[in-house]
A and B are shown apart, each in its own frame.
Chain A
Amino acid sequence: MRTFLPAVAEQLFRDIQKIYEETTQTLTLPSSRLRRLKFVFGTCALQALDLVDQRSVTCLSSPSGRKAFQVIGGSGRLYTCFLSCHYCPCPAFTYTVLRRNQGLLCKHILAVYLCQAMAVTQQESVSDQQMSAVLSGTGGP
């Protein structure tokens, strides 16, 4: 995902990705990276890691090549996030990020970044029409 993130956050994700690429075993996140994650993203860092553990992030792709992420939230609700910019329909994104400008992103978008870095994103194919419905918020798989 092309980002609107500060350089420190981008570097953190690159570090995490490097750790997971260099090991053949599934490890928990090193405590140093965990501390940095909590420092940069605050309380949503642990919530996002829970979503990662639950394998809650799916990358949808359609024959046209269009992609989008879907995240199953803690309540079981499905949230659609975009590839190239930050958006999530969850109340936390609206309130904390858009309205109060007090956070960079919500736990769902952070979970997307982390799943991508750790290569644990689920994959699912949908038709072009289904993808259009997902992107517009009028439907989905």
Chain B
Amino acid sequence: MTDILTLVFRTLSSQTGQNKDPSAVPPPPAPRSNTLVVGEHRLSRSVLLLAAVTAASELGVRVAFFAQTQIQSLPECLQRCSKITFSYPRTLEELLQQVASLHEFPCPPSLIIIDRLDGFLRGAVASSHVGFHSGDESRAAHLAALLCDTAAFLTEILEKRGSSSAPCRAIASFLSDADSGQESRDPSATDSILDVLDRYFQARCTLDQDRSYEAAAAAAQEAWHVYLSGAKILDDLEDGPTLAQEWKLFIFPEGLMEFKLV
């Protein structure tokens, strides 16, 4: 999945910047790992949608996108895109059933996206702020392991068919209580959930807003740091170098997004 994210960032990087600079060093190839996107939801959802669109249009792969709340402002072109399937399970149980049944479909997805894992794991919809409880570790592990196992199985199927869509990857977003500004009854519970998820997601994409004057200096509305970390760059090397990429994201008033490799 980090390979798809890197493709998203490169596709949306400045045309006047590094792409025209012959001495600019391209980022190293990113591994095809399952990725957890952590950070503010408004941006993480946009990143997930960009990943879905990029995967469907640039790579031509099928995408299964799961979210608990309907995406209200989905562009018409996305609604008509036959390669992306949007599903809105209301509960964790429904999500588990839908992910578990992906193997039943004749044309499996190559990318599984889940928006707001935390919402499903809290066991409530939208406005409840009950926070995490210690018993949620097993639920988090079940969902993450099912995603991992499903992606591994669908990869085998795609490879057996000789499909260029292999491997199947998974990406999910997670909003911690700290990022949401909510007080959790048990502050360590969110960290323990993230620790559990880290067991199953090999890479992490962290979104961190830049609150300095950099956005203003770039005539942008917002500036963000985007960190890709965790997975080994070369999957087949046990002691290979790990992924560590930093991008800068500028969001302009008209909604234009521009990524720059740092």
> Residues of A at under 8 Å CB distance from B?
2, 4, 62, 64-66, 68, 82-87, 89, 93-94, 98-99, 101, 128-129, 131-133, 135-138
CB–CB B103/A138 < 8 A: no
Number of A-B contacts (CB under 8 A): 84
Would you mind naming 29 contact pairs between A and B with Cβ atoms under 8 Å apart? A2-B152, A4-B199, A62-B103, A65-B103, A66-B153, A82-B146, A82-B149, A84-B153, A85-B152, A85-B200, A86-B199, A87-B142, A89-B138, A89-B142, A94-B141, A98-B195, A98-B196, A98-B199, A99-B134, A99-B137, A131-B103, A132-B104, A135-B100, A135-B146, A136-B93, A136-B97, A136-B100, A137-B142, A138-B93
Majority SS of interface residues in chain B? Answer: helix
* B148 proximal to A (CB < 8 A): yes
Cβ 8 A contact of B96, one of A66, A83, A138: A138
Q: How far is the CA of A85 from the CA of B145 in the complex (A)?
A: 6
CB distance from B112 to the nearest CB of A (A): 14
CB–CB A85/B103 < 8 A: no
Give chain B residues whose Cβ lies under 8 Å from the Cβ of A82. Answer: 145-146, 148-149
Give chain B residues whose Cβ lies under 8 Å from the Cβ of A4. Answer: 199
CB distance from B235 to the nearest CB of A (A): 12
Give chain B residues whose Cβ lies under 8 Å from the Cβ of A89. Answer: 138, 142
> Residues of B at under 8 Å CB distance from A?
93, 96-97, 99-101, 103-104, 134, 137-138, 141-142, 145-146, 148-150, 152-153, 156-157, 192, 195-196, 199-200
Contacts A98-B137, A98-B138; A65 near B153 (Cβ below 8 A): yes
Q: How far is the CA of A119 from the CA of B214 in the complex (A)?
A: 62
CB–CB A83/B138 < 8 A: no
CB distance from A129 to the nearest CB of B (A): 7
Closest to A62 in B: B103
19 further interface pairs, Cβ-Cβ under 8 Å (given A84-B153, A94-B137, A98-B138): A65-B153, A65-B157, A66-B103, A85-B145, A87-B142, A87-B149, A89-B138, A93-B141, A98-B196, A98-B199, A128-B103, A129-B104, A131-B100, A132-B97, A132-B101, A133-B100, A135-B149, A136-B100, A138-B96
Cβ 8 A contact of B148, one of A84, A132, A136, A138: A84
CB distance from B115 to the nearest CB of A (A): 19
Give chain A residues whose Cβ lies under 8 Å from the Cβ of B137. Answer: 94, 98-99
CB distance from B197 to the nearest CB of A (A): 11
Q: How far is the CA of A91 from the CA of B192 in the complex (A)?
A: 16
CB–CB B146/A83 < 8 A: no
Give chain B residues whose Cβ lies under 8 Å from the Cβ of A94. Answer: 137-138, 141
Cβ 8 A contact of B146, one of A64, A101, A136: A136
Cβ 8 A contact of B104, one of A84, A86, A128: A128
Q: How far is the CA of A101 from the CA of B145 in the complex (A)?
A: 17
CB–CB B141/A87 < 8 A: yes
CB–CB B152/A84 < 8 A: yes
Query: Most chain-B Cβ atoms within 10 A of its Cβ — which of A2, A86, A98, A133?
Result: A98
Closest to B238 in A: A7
Query: Most chain-B Cβ atoms within 10 A of its Cβ — which of A64, A65, A132, A135?
Result: A135
Q: How far is the CA of A131 from the CA of B142 in the complex (A)?
A: 15
